[in-house]
Amino acid sequence: MFQPRPIAPDNACIGLLGGSFNPAHEGHAHISRIALKRLGLNRVWWLLSPGNPLKRNAPAPLERRMDAANAVLNGHPRIFPTGIERNLGTVYTIDTIHALQRRYPRVRFVWLMGADNLVQFDRWHRWADIMQSVPVAVMARPGEQVRAGLSVAARRFAQARLPARDAATLPYRDAPCWTMLTHPTSPLSSTAIREGGAWQ
């Protein structure tokens, strides 16, 4: 069962973690909890995408992925999985962000991504517009920090990088503004879970 419009109090700071979540796992929950704490967020929304334009194979049905996400979160009071992209009719991240900003004009959104995604961020549709539209927090991923720091996106927006020590101010800053956080990482990945046969 999907909330067609997740609840967002006025002036809330909400992190947006997008992806296929095919399946969701404790690693997603781990970085969400860190984002809540380090960025001073009120909530994190998991945006379970109907599909990923960069991935050839379609994910499991959205309803099944939502059930798995809810099981992982086990009722966490500040992290919410949502299938709102299906309701919005958006495919690309930039369109989702703009649609959410229109629907929730009094909310401060922060885009959350793993360092592995920053490495290939320049392949995303209108990726530079994403950086210009919303503050971005890059979360550590095993073995990806150096590559992320040398990525096309990191170099192009080097002047907009916020020191990690100031991460709690990120939600209140105008885009473009981004930071990269270092923290204990989880080795879990959706790909490894699928390849291990635990998600069929």
Query: 62-98: per-residue pLDDT in tens?
Result: 999 999 999 999 999 999 999 999 999 999 999 999 9
Residue the block writes with tokens 């392949």: 123
- Helices 26-39 and 62-73: crossing angle in degrees, nearest 10, is 60
Residue 1: what pLDDT? Answer: 46
pTM above 0.75, yes or no: yes
pLDDT confidence tier of residue 109, bands split at 50, 70 and 90? very high
pLDDT at residue 195 above 70? Answer: no
Other CB atoms within 10 A of residue 51 CB = 15
> Average pLDDT of 142-156?
92
Domains of the chain and any CATH numbers: 13-195 (3.40.50.620)
Of 39-48, 141-150, 163-172, the one with minimum mean pLDDT is 141-150
